[in-house]
Chains A and B, each alone.
Chain A
Amino acid sequence: MHPQLQLLVALQDMDQMIRETEESREQLEDLGFRHEGLEALKNAREELSGKIDPSLASWYKRLTARWGHAVVPVVSNLCTGCFASIPSSFVSKTNVDKVQKCESCGRLLYWP
């Protein structure tokens, strides 16, 4: 996987964790989980974000604001964000060249 995509996936996982903790905090704490490290996690998120290429970070932010998720998995050669077909030529490029975007919706593509 492209190193920048690895960071973007980690960033999105972290954003989801922060969001879910804030939204479901009461439910999770009823189960016994504690979240005393939330502020530290937010700081770690900022640190991680700083390692991402500024143009990709900006694109990530824009997509997240628009769609909720900026990075989406490709399943059966389909972008799972908009269900557009992803050319098979993209697959061979994913690990080496650059972070790939869906040509239809612009989401960042991840091959799980």
Chain B
Amino acid sequence: MDIVEVLKHTSPALFLPDLQATDKAAALAEMVEGLVSGTSIHNPDTILQMLQSREHLGSTAVGPGIAFPHGRTLAVQRLTILIARSHAGVDFDSEDGQPTHLFFVLVAPPQDSGHQYIKSLAALIDRLQDAGLRAQLGEAADYDAFCAALKGA
């Protein structure tokens, strides 16, 4: 799956360019609030509980300054991706102990055809290996500029 396909699962309403939270619990809550206000999803508590459970399994902050909170839940009917950015950085229990600045939240229904959710995760992780790209994403002025950088345009 390429990045253009992945970006079909997000939208400008699902882009939080300036996350305010600085700790993990508050950041997850703020991002779930963003998911609910940017879509027709109705059940924030269920999504938050699922993402918290996933973090208990092991932190999803696996890239340098990047986290990928993710999981499946009955609360959504299609793969939905929220992108968030924190200028101050969030303590997200990253492996390297450094603050997390970029978040890609992937929530998928219990069954999704062709495992789009795992493939999207893999495509994002692969693309974000590029340190120059990560710096660009940190400075992108808006959603369009963010997506253009991600696409390599």
User: Which residues of A approach B to under 8 Å, CB–CB?
Assistant: 1, 6, 9-10, 12-14, 16-17, 20-21, 24, 27-28, 31-38, 40-41, 44, 69, 71-73, 75, 110, 112
Q: Report if A6-B58 is in contact (Cβ < 8 Å); known contacts: A17-B71, A112-B74.
A: no
CA distance A33 to B74 in the complex (A): 23
**Contacts A/B (CB < 8 Å), 26 sampled:** A1-B43, A6-B45, A9-B46, A9-B74, A10-B46, A10-B49, A13-B46, A13-B53, A13-B72, A17-B53, A20-B72, A31-B122, A31-B125, A33-B58, A33-B60, A33-B62, A34-B58, A34-B59, A37-B57, A44-B53, A44-B56, A69-B110, A71-B74, A72-B74, A73-B77, A112-B77
CA distance A38 to B57 in the complex (A): 5
How extensive is the interface on chain B, given as a class? 20 to 34
CA distance A1 to B60 in the complex (A): 29
A13-B53, A71-B74, A73-B77 known; 17 new pairs, CB 8 Å cut-off, are A6-B45, A9-B74, A9-B75, A10-B50, A12-B74, A24-B118, A32-B63, A33-B58, A35-B57, A36-B58, A37-B57, A44-B53, A44-B56, A110-B74, A112-B41, A112-B74, A112-B77
- Tell yes or no: B54 within 8 A of A by CB: yes
CA distance A32 to B121 in the complex (A): 11
A26 to chain B, nearest CB (A): 12
Decide if A41 touches B56 in the complex (CB within 8 Å). Answer: yes
